Structure 1
């Protein structure tokens, strides 16, 4: 049988911003308990009292490294170079038996031009190509026999060099996403490699997004 404590934990885990505020003791327990009365009552299918919820909130133990880990703070402070590339286009195609052949033609073309920004991601059902907009006609020509699912232009990429061992740091990506979300910056695409992380945003948001990411290091 579900308990009030279990309901409180489920609601907090689903709202990490709220969970972090609670872990930093910057939230009013009484006000939060009042807010949670209705959802918890619905989850338990019976009325619950504010006092019982407050008790569960005070007993809740949030993750200890939700942003306060010294190791996490050290890694964020030591983030590497931040690179911005503008005038990008994002193409999405449905996966097919011939898609790789079309993609190989793009790779051959890129071998002769190192100044072109390019990223390729293959999912289960679809694949995405992010490339300098100057190459739009070239992409459309070599993918003309593929099913195009979408295209988005006027995009910019912000790439961040990550320190080695970043994959062992809990909450690193969360901290980046959190800061961007708090500033109301929506991400159009995310691409990552072992030691590099790239976010794709609309051109009008790139200055704001760059400023947010740069402030991460301070």
Structure 2
């Protein structure tokens, strides 16, 4: 059975708002403990005292890394040009079909891959997705003509982070990045990752805030 301290730590670490708030000293521990009591008693199947929860919260907050330390610095490459912004993107999602592979091949073969054009093609279990620069939309729609379009999102921007080659060995790399964005109320539409790059897709209105947050995490 989980202890109170272990359960409290899991609750805090699962919430970017709680972990960041505790790290910054912005949260009243007694009030937070009072609000967590019902959940803890339900999960642990036993009465939980408020003083014990406060003590567990205090110990968790003392172990949280200082601002700017830890995985979020390790994640980013130590070189210039770590952030790349793209504007005026469109995301289209189709239902998976027998033609999906052929559509992908045709699109990649015909697409204009100039440096100012953005294009990613993703296939999941039941859906296929394309994120591209707006000028490529006529080609994309022609290639996928007749396929079942599930969703289209316009007015998107993207920020690509250059990660270190060892980022895949660092625990919490993505969590550190997403926590910072969530704390600043930046909503992400999608994420696209490769070995050493992470591209975050968001509505245009959130792009400026996202870039500012990520630029602050870059190490030089």
| TM-score, normalized by the shorter chain, greater than 0.5 | yes
Answer whether contact 1:19 1:62 (CA < 8 A) is retained.
no
Displacement of 1:155 after TM fit?
0.9
CA distance in 1, matches of 2:103, 2:42: 52
Deviations 1:22-66 (A, max 9, x none): 567765433332222222233345543212323444565987769
Q: After TM superposition, list the pairs within 5 Å mapping 1:113-124 onto structure 2.
A: 113-124=114-125
Q: If the length of structure 1 is used for normalisation, what is the TM-score?
A: 0.83
Q: If the length of structure 2 is used for normalisation, what is the TM-score?
A: 0.82
Aligned residues: 218
Answer whether contact 2:74 2:167 (CA < 8 A) is retained.
no
Answer whether contact 2:16 2:183 (CA < 8 A) is retained.
no
Residue 12 of structure 1: aligned partner: 12
CA distance 1:190–1:180, shift in 2 (3 Å)? same
Displacement of 1:12 after TM fit?
2.7
Please list every run of 5 or more consecutive structure 1 residues that lacks an aligned counterpart in the other structure.
Answer: none
Q: Which moved more, 1:59-68 or 1:165-174?
A: 59-68
Answer whether contact 2:22 2:61 (CA < 8 A) is retained.
no
Residue 48 of structure 1: aligned partner: 48
Q: Which moved more, 1:106-115 or 1:132-141?
A: 106-115
CA distance in 2, matches of 1:205, 1:39: 33
Please list every run of 5 or more consecutive structure 2 residues that lacks an aligned counterpart in the other structure.
Answer: none
CA distance in 1, matches of 2:173, 2:189: 20
Residue 186 of structure 1: aligned partner: 187
CA distance in 2, matches of 1:189, 1:68: 25
CA distance 1:93–1:19, shift in 2 (3 Å)? same
Residue 159 of structure 1: aligned partner: 160
Partner of 1:188, secondary structure, is: strand
CA distance 1:167–1:154, shift in 2 (3 Å)? same
CA distance in 2, matches of 1:182, 1:61: 17
CA distance in 1, matches of 2:98, 2:26: 54
Q: RMSD across aligned C-alpha pairs, in angstroms?
A: 3.0
Deviations 1:152-209 (A, max 9, x none): 1111111121122111122222222112111111011111111111111112221221
Q: Which moved more, 1:159-168 or 1:121-130?
A: 159-168
Q: Which moved more, 1:125-134 or 1:69-78?
A: 69-78
Q: After TM superposition, list the pairs within 5 Å mapping 1:201-216 onto structure 2.
A: 201-216=202-217
CA distance in 2, matches of 1:57, 1:51: 10
